[in-house]
Structure 1
């Protein structure tokens, strides 16, 4: 890897941010009225968290440029 890119151009960075946001979703205390809806929401959040982790892994493995530490 000899090319450089800004941090916001990194798929790995964006997938990691998504993973952090999704894993912190329980802090938002969104209450659902029915148990089925709560279970469905939990399953969807787990799936999206796993998907963003896979995206981060894929982004790192497919990266062709280094992330630049230069100021914008």
Structure 2
């Protein structure tokens, strides 16, 4: 494994965040099924990927220098 990616595109990071949030929700009395946790993780990762792509496009459009 030599390729790298930003931390916010890591499925493991988002699954861990969802696990913490669903665990905390369970402690305060809000039941969350494990299947919903996986669905939440996928949805968050898709949202983060979309936002990252949008930021990349906007950054390129607002750049003052050429690539190359």
State the TM-score, normalizing by the size of structure 1: 0.49
Bigger relative CO (Cα 8 Å, ≥ 6 apart): 1
The runs of 5 or more residues in structure 1 that have no matched partner are 1-16
Equivalent runs, 1:2-41 vs 2, <5 Å: 18=6, 22=9, 25-26=10-11, 28=12, 34-41=34-41
Rounded Cα–Cα distance in structure 2 between residues aligned with 1:64 and 1:37: 42
Higher helix share: 2
- Give structure 2 stretches of 5+ with no counterpart: 20-32
For residue 64 of structure 1, report the CA deviation from its aligned partner. Answer: 1.1
Count the aligned residue pairs.
47
2:63 partner SS = coil
**TM-score normalized with structure 2 length:** 0.51
Q: 1:63 Cα deviation (Å)?
A: 0.3
Poorly superposed stretches of 4+, deviation over 6 Å: none
Q: Secondary structure at the match of 1:65?
A: coil
RMSD: 3.0
